[in-house]
A and B are shown apart, each in its own frame.
Chain A
């Protein structure tokens, strides 16, 4: 099964650049990446730029409305994601726990829709 690990955190609680905590976080991400690759479960993953770069769009009555900012005004923002392919939720949770942001944010684990029309 494929799962997306959505990484949410509050930028105010992120370790700041130049601190030992920041280096630890970077090392933790590197180690998590390597582990997912070595285990052959990693299907994709990217970090996102900050919410100040976000633009939201919706169509109302046929008219495109474009807005500055993220969809939801919450303290915790989506900061990045991984997609992994593992047998079950327990395995997915194990990889989610490797993501350093779990220590100061939240990792949401969601199964991907499984259409697979060509199987």
Chain B
């Protein structure tokens, strides 16, 4: 304990702010896994923070501010649960808490964030709720920030988050790391959630107040630290580093998006590329291939010294198809095959996907490129126009318009 004295309100609130930023996820994870109730965990932590302001102001900062908050939050939870102990499940949570309370806190606060992340990414929750809840509880984003990132109204997002928390408590979603039998399936769901956070940020661009690419990278690094030496977690981290490395180069000076092969290499982030490649090599040395490792390798092959290594990329998409036999992966495989020198076969594959993907803009864009590669200028033109009409961003529309222009310049009408 520091010597008592008049500690200034500013110092106390700054310290509280720092602890709540740095340790909030860890504190919530410890409280929630004991209480089995995320909403209650957050509420009692908030109450403890309010209590800290007046208590620390009077008595000085405790030796371990985070430990103090945890202890006070637990006591507040015990008080609340005593009131509601007629409910047998709350009785069980109370017993756990009283146990924890009786045990002297070890040197550090245990880190149960992996349990927390698995609970937030549970397949019993809607995919969008998984994202929102993970950003809220693990990354500490507030509801307005999450609503803005997904272009949702704030009350709608608030309701989504509280519904998800209520379901965790009512349906008994566990705060636990899944057992070996369900590990890979649950890990896939979790990594898909983090990846969706990453791609949402990638498309939105870095000028948002909370950069979702940054949050996704924070999450995947945290998961890698809490569960080291898992090749798919490493693969996901490598993929985000390698793809994220090209972020500053993905839109050209004219505002049109650029494929990796046409980007200005000097804008690539070499430190991210180096780190991504090292992590990917480490993952692959474990000899347990998986979709994220393959996606990372594809992203890496886009940045080969002499331009994208299309034969290798086509082979990797073939491997990815065995893990994820989805129309979207098949579409990418067809494009790679065409770039690797077989546009005729690529076009056949694309046309076979029409039934599944005709409402998917990238299908129209890929079809246009492959029709052009096969010399079918008129068909390519109408496919480009369709792809431009459906383009999700201005930069993408700009890119497609340039391609369309090149088509009319190089190929005389036949």
Contact = CB atoms under 8 A, between A and B. Distances in A.
Q: Is B a genuine binding partner of A?
A: yes
A119 B86 contact: yes
Contact of A88 (B86, B174, B182): B174
A99 interface: no
A3 B88 CA distance: 15
Given A111-B170, A111-B171, A88 B87 contact: no
Nearest to A93: B124
A90 B174 contact: yes
Contact of A90 (B85, B89, B176): B176
Contacts of B86: 116-117, 119
B88 A90 contact: no
A102 interface: no
A87 interface: yes
Contacts of A1: 89, 172
Nearest to B36: A88
B88 A119 contact: yes
Contacts, number: 40
Q: Which 6 A-B pairs have the closest CB atoms?
A: A88-B174, A116-B88, A88-B172, A1-B172, A89-B172, A119-B88
Contacts of B171: 89, 109, 111
23 contacts: A1-B89, A3-B172, A87-B172, A88-B36, A88-B172, A88-B173, A88-B174, A89-B124, A89-B171, A89-B174, A90-B174, A90-B178, A90-B182, A92-B172, A93-B124, A111-B171, A111-B172, A114-B88, A116-B86, A117-B86, A119-B85, A119-B88, A119-B91
Contacts of B176: 88, 90
Interface bracket on A: 10 to 19
A114 B174 contact: no
Nearest to A115: B87
A99 to B, nearest CB: 17
Given A89-B124, A90-B182, A116 B87 contact: yes
B181 to A, nearest CB: 8
A39 B273 CA distance: 51
Contacts of B172: 1, 3, 87-89, 92, 111
B351 to A, nearest CB: 33
Interface in B133-181: 170-174, 176, 178
A109 B171 CA distance: 9
Interface in B298-341: none
Given A111-B170, A114-B89, 15 more contacts: A87-B172, A88-B172, A89-B171, A89-B172, A90-B174, A90-B182, A92-B172, A111-B171, A114-B88, A116-B87, A116-B88, A117-B86, A119-B86, A119-B87, A119-B88
A86 to B, nearest CB: 8
Interface string B70-86: 00000000000000011
Interface in A78-119: 87-90, 92-93, 109, 111, 114-117, 119
B81 to A, nearest CB: 13
Contacts of B170: 111
A87 B88 contact: no
Interface in B170-218: 170-174, 176, 178, 182
Nearest to B170: A111
Contacts of A109: 171
A1 B124 CA distance: 16
Contacts of A114: 87-89
A119 B92 CA distance: 12
Contacts of B173: 88-90
A111 B169 CA distance: 10
